[in-house]
Chains A and B, each alone.
Chain A
Amino acid sequence: MKSKLRISHHTLRLSVIAATLVLSTTMSTSANAADNGKYRIGVVTFLSGAAAGPFGVPAANSARLIVEALNNGKVPAPYAKKGINGLEIEMVLLDENGGATKQTEEFRNLVQRQKVDAVIGYISSGDCLAIAPAAEELGVPTIFFDCGTSKVFEVVKNPKFLFRTGLDAVVDNIAAARYVAETRPNIKTIAGIEQNYSWGQESWADFSQAFGRIKPEIKVVSEQWPKLGQGQYGAEISALSVANPDLIHSSFWGGDMEALMLQGGARGLFDKKTVVLTGGETGMEHFKGQVANGTILGGRGPFGAFSPKNALNDWFRPAFVAQFKESPTYPAYKMAQAILGLKSAAEKSAKPGVMPSTDQVIQGLAGLSYEAPSGTVKMARSNGHQAVQSISFGEYQFDAKSGKATLSNVKTYAGECVMPPDGTVNADWIKAGFPGAKCN
């Protein structure tokens, strides 16, 4: 009798625990799930970890700025209309840190629990690859504003809900190769120092192959693969010094890049050598002359210091500087153009004041060509889901007196010149000698 009683209690207790857990989750979320007539955008970017400083936080700041300005109708034409289609925008900000599995979980929470109308975000290629199928499965407009991997639209063959408003990494390196070939004709030996993970490995593969295709006579004298976030490059710098190449290519980003330039500079690694940093633009503010003048910097597109002069940029740049006390780097521009893309897509067909439907958004955005602080963005690849934009490279110039850093000898390459056409694998396109590339 007594034992029976115990059993039932025991069973009960287990069930109660589980039940309360399940309930608590559902309850606590019902508030969020409530439809409040606002247009909810989930924004996912690095708020912690090494990628937060150089990428995540500028992007998040840019998102805050743009959303607030849109809600107050402060953005100049053609975006003067309040919010999105007249509806106030509500932003749900999440940290991208913590790995792809966790991100898929959080993505589903965003869509299914928080009921966001669209998701904008993702810097890490791994996260993008993991999210891409989920976006298609859940059928929510999802815009990758950054992630450099070229595999996104290999994973999702014919996308419906998935878009990328930024360029992928192969573009950086093909453009870099062209720029170096044009501006440094007598380079014979090259070396690469890359972070030992996908980004670094792909960047070096693309650059060395592209440059080799353009100038077959060049020789690779050293490849260095320090681990991501290592911060100390003593041995690598020595190895590069001993190899003594004419050109050093690096796809380093953030703290690693700045540390490398600092340590290499102090050890004279870069004297009488050309350095090309495909993501160097984020460092312009910090280098403060730590980097030799003439170092070749890329901005992953017409962003940051490479951004053109237009009405939107004349508003965006000063507004950003005023609010965050630093000039916007490329992640900020990319975030801005992702949000503006969403807005123009939603407003293309929806009746003013009405909540735009998912179909209206995705149909509006596919193949759309719209204005952004970085100039015109053409959604022209992967059946109108991948943006085509020009990309620029230039040389770093630091004026010690004014303490200002500028870019000289800037060259811009049209997307058609450096982007592999749809359906071709980057490596093959490069090996084949960039067939069908339209360069002016």
Chain B
Amino acid sequence: MTTLIAILIDGAIYASWLFLVAAGMTIIYGVMRVLNMAHGSFYAIGAYSAASLVSWYFSSDQGNPYWSLLILPACAIVAGAIIGLFIEQGLLRFLHGRDEILMVIVTYALMLILEDATKLIWGVNPYFAYQPYKLLGQTGFGEHLRFANYDLMLIGIAIVIGLVAWAALNRTNKGRLLRAVIHDREIAIAMGVNVNAMFAATFVIGAILGALAGALTAPAISVSPGIGVEVIVLAFAVIVIGGLGSIGGAAAGALLVGLARSFAVHIAPEIELFVIYGVMFLVLAIRPQGLFGQTLARRI
């Protein structure tokens, strides 16, 4: 019984984390057709900036500790916006509409660069921002099982971000325009949509989401080199399962992977390593375009 609860809650927590990581990536792909290999670096940069600022905030111990909960997203937004804008305007702008695979390679190069860049800025020693994680205390289930409220909060945040993204795409004019771009770039251009501006905005939002995922994770981990590379393949798996470019898909993929993984950890820890790829394989073997992806046959 406790195990079942544990599986469900762990699954939900891990799923929301996966969703936070994958959301930005899938949005960027959906609009720009860029599968962003450097997304993990955004995650790392978000984590580093948050961790360094939060630990500074507490080391100079003035003010209410709860402010740190606001510092985290603030860092993410600033860091993500800066790096996102920089990369989009400095590089990707010149590559709009290029071959998807080429863009994978370009962003792969970006990843290599950003990995060392973060190292140059923050060094190799770990950063800690554990205070916010402790701040919210814990909730008990059964005799021994306890969860950090901070993790439970992540579930809420993931849901909110998901809903906001959905509403923004479906309930606002800008969002409708964006979907027009996603659906058919040529027509959108013909309609006079400023695609370049759309792309810039999308990439910045995606970068901010990536950084946000990092910033929100920072308090629970020791922020050290390599954390970015770890998340890329995970995020890939999730959005490929869900269907590239679909927010709903990312959510579904995250939930599927999250639950599958926590089930494995509790029931058969040995297979934990394969679960994610296993799921990805099954889904794609049955539904090549992913859960929510749509196939478009070529007109001849």
Can you give 14 A-B contacts (C-beta < 8 A)? A234-B13, A234-B151, A235-B7, A238-B145, A238-B266, A241-B145, A254-B126, A258-B126, A262-B130, A263-B133, A263-B148, A268-B138, A286-B222, A288-B128
> Restricting to B254-276, which residues have a CB under 8 Å from any CB of A?
261-262, 265-266, 269-270, 272-273
Measured as residues with beta carbon below 8 angstroms from the partner, the interface class of chain B is: 35 or more
User: Interface residue count for A (Cβ, 8 Å)?
Assistant: 42
| The stretch of B92-100, B224-232, B243-251 that contacts the partner chain | B224-232
Question: Chain B interface (Cβ within 8 Å of chain A)?
Answer: 2-3, 6-7, 9-11, 13-14, 17, 115-116, 119, 124-126, 128, 130, 133-134, 138, 143-148, 150-151, 217, 220-227, 230, 261-262, 265-266, 269-270, 272-273
Contact B224 A267 (CB under 8 A): no
A323: Cβ under 8 A from any B Cβ:
no
Known: A50-B226, A196-B273, A267-B138. A232 touches B10 (CB 8 A): no
Q: Which of B124, B126, B134 has the most CB of A within 10 A?
A: B124
Could you say which residues of chain B place their CB within 8 Å of the CB of A259? 220-222
Stretch binding the partner chain, chosen from A222-230, A389-397, A432-440: A222-230
C-alpha spacing A390/B76, complex, angstroms = 47
A246 to chain B, nearest CB (A): 12
**Complex formed: what's the CA distance from A48 to B270 in Å?**
29
Cβ of A27 within 8 Å of any chain B Cβ, yes or no, is no
Give the contacting residue for A232; candidates B14, B150, B272; CB below 8 A. Answer: B14
B-facing residues in A51-109 (Cβ within 8 Å):
52-54, 56-57
The total of interchain contacts (Cβ-Cβ below 8 angstroms) comes to 133
Beyond A52-B124, A263-B133, A266-B134, list 18 extra A-B contacts (CB 8 Å): A48-B116, A53-B124, A196-B272, A196-B273, A225-B272, A229-B226, A230-B230, A235-B11, A235-B261, A236-B265, A239-B265, A241-B146, A255-B126, A255-B222, A258-B128, A263-B220, A266-B220, A326-B125
Near B by CB (< 8 A), chain A positions 242-283 give 242, 244, 254-256, 258-259, 262-263, 266-269
- In the complex, which of the residues B125, B134, B144 contacts A241, with contact meaning CB atoms closer than 8 Å? B144
Q: Which of B13, B125, B221, B272 contacts A227 (CB 8 A)?
A: B272
Does A353 interact with chain B (Cβ within 8 Å)? no
B224 with A50: CB separation less than 8 A: yes
From B2, B130, B144, contact of A290 by CB (8 A): B130
**A222 to B259 Cα, complex, angstroms:** 20
Bound state CA distance, A286 and B138, in angstroms? 23
Question: A48-B119, A231-B230, A266-B133 are known contacts. Are A239 and B126 too (CB-CB below 8 A)?
Answer: no
In the complex with contacts A57-B124, A234-B14, A238-B9, A49-B225 CB distance below 8 A: yes
A353 to chain B, nearest CB (A): 39
Cβ of A239 and Cβ of B124 under 8 Å apart? no
Residues of A within 8 A of B133 (CB): 262-263, 266
Cα-based distance from A267 to B144 in the complex (angstroms): 10
| Residue ranges of A at the interface with B (Cβ–Cβ < 8 Å) | 47-50, 52-54, 56-57, 196, 223-227, 229-232, 234-236, 238-239, 241-242, 244, 254-256, 258-259, 262-263, 266-269, 286, 288, 290, 326
Q: Whole-angstrom distance from the CB of B7 to the nearest CB of chain A?
A: 8
**C-alpha spacing A53/B124, complex, angstroms:** 5
**Cβ–Cβ contact B14 & A254, under 8 A:** no
> Across the interface, do B126 and A242 meet the contact criterion of CB distance under 8 Å?
no
A273 to chain B, nearest CB (A): 10
| Contact (Cβ within 8 A) B146 A224 | no
- Does the CB pair B224–A266 fall under 8 Å? no
CA–CA, A256 to B273, complex, Å? 17
From A225, which residue of chain B is reached at the shortest CB distance? B269
Contact B273 A235 (CB under 8 A): no
Closest partner residue, chain A, to B262 (CB atom) = A235
Q: Which residues of B contact A52 (CB under 8 A)?
A: 124, 225
Provide the bound-state CA to CA distance between A410 and B108, in Å: 49
The distance from the CB of A50 to the nearest CB of chain B, in whole angstroms, is 4
Are B138 and A53 interface neighbours, CB within 8 A?
Answer: no
Q: How far is the CA of A30 from the CA of B150 in the complex (A)?
A: 58
A267 lies within 8 A of B273 (CB): no
A239 partner, pick from B150, B269, B273, beta carbons under 8 A: B269
Q: Which residues of A contact B3 (CB under 8 A)?
A: 242
For the complex, give the distance between the alpha carbons of A267 and B140 in Å.
Answer: 9
Q: Measured between C-beta atoms, what is the minimum distance from B267 to chain A in Å?
A: 9
